[in-house]
Amino acid sequence: MNAFSPVSTTTPSVSRMIAMLAYARKFPLRVTCLGEARYSEDASSDFCVPRTAVLGEYSSLINAMTFIKGLVREGHVNIRDDSAVGFSLRLCMVRDDEGCLVIAGEVGAQGINWCEPVASDGEARSIIETTSRLRGQAFKETGANNHATARALCFRAAALEGRLVHPDWREQARSAIQYVSKGVQCHA
């Protein structure tokens, strides 16, 4: 075949093949969760520390989301820390092999509330401004020894950041949310 030969319609175009290869390198998808590990100094005092736990790798977004739904329903997360007496799951995230956010979900009383991906770069900038302000408030609360309030503000910021899905994944994340959860959205 020379440069002027017609391209067969039965084989994918070079640009489509390059796009498929670029997409394939984003796998496996990694599931992590953000929560609070509870520790006990003695019989009368407990303290909590924010922790992130890596939970596994999956070959598809639907498989990762299904795993997360089951994990939240079950309510038990192994954070591989024998000194922790408990762990409260707050936010689950799926990232691709390049570290890009694919989807996130906030854990609530009714299960997992998937965070709706941002619709535009302007919306993403607004969320970044809000989360920066929340983290600033958390820093002030830490300085005032209000650690529980500071942690709550940091988790709120993290839940909002769950909407900052990488542009390559936004449409697929929206479709997966509809498929897996019948339209339940994040309240962040």
Please give the chain's pLDDT, 188 residues, in tens.
Answer: 444 444 445 566 776 655 555 566 688 999 999 999 988 887 678 888 889 999 999 999 999 999 999 999 998 787 878 788 888 999 999 999 999 999 999 999 889 999 999 999 999 999 999 999 999 999 999 999 999 999 999 999 999 999 999 999 999 999 999 998 664 445 44
Number of domains comprising the chain: 1
**Is residue 152 in some structural domain?**
no
**Is residue 137 in some structural domain?**
no
Kindly state the tokens that stand for 159: 């839940």
Cα 188 to Cα 181: distance, rounded to the nearest angstrom = 17
**Is residue 131 in some structural domain?**
no
**Is residue 161 in some structural domain?**
no
Strand locations in 59-133 (E): 86-95, 101-108, 111-114
Cα 71 to Cα 92: distance, rounded to the nearest angstrom = 10
**Is residue 124 in some structural domain?**
no
pLDDT for 110 equals: 87
The reported pTM is 0.80
The residues near 92 (Cβ < 8 Å, ≥ 6 apart) are: 31, 32, 33, 34, 68, 71, 72, 104, 105, 107, 112
Element at 20 (helix H, strand E): helix 14-24
pLDDT for 177 equals: 95
**Is residue 88 in some structural domain?**
yes
**Is residue 102 in some structural domain?**
yes
Q: Which domain holds residue 62?
A: 27-117+166-181
**Is residue 123 in some structural domain?**
no
Q: Which residues pair with 112 in a beta bridge?
A: 107
Task: State whether residue 60 is helix, strand or coil.
Answer: coil
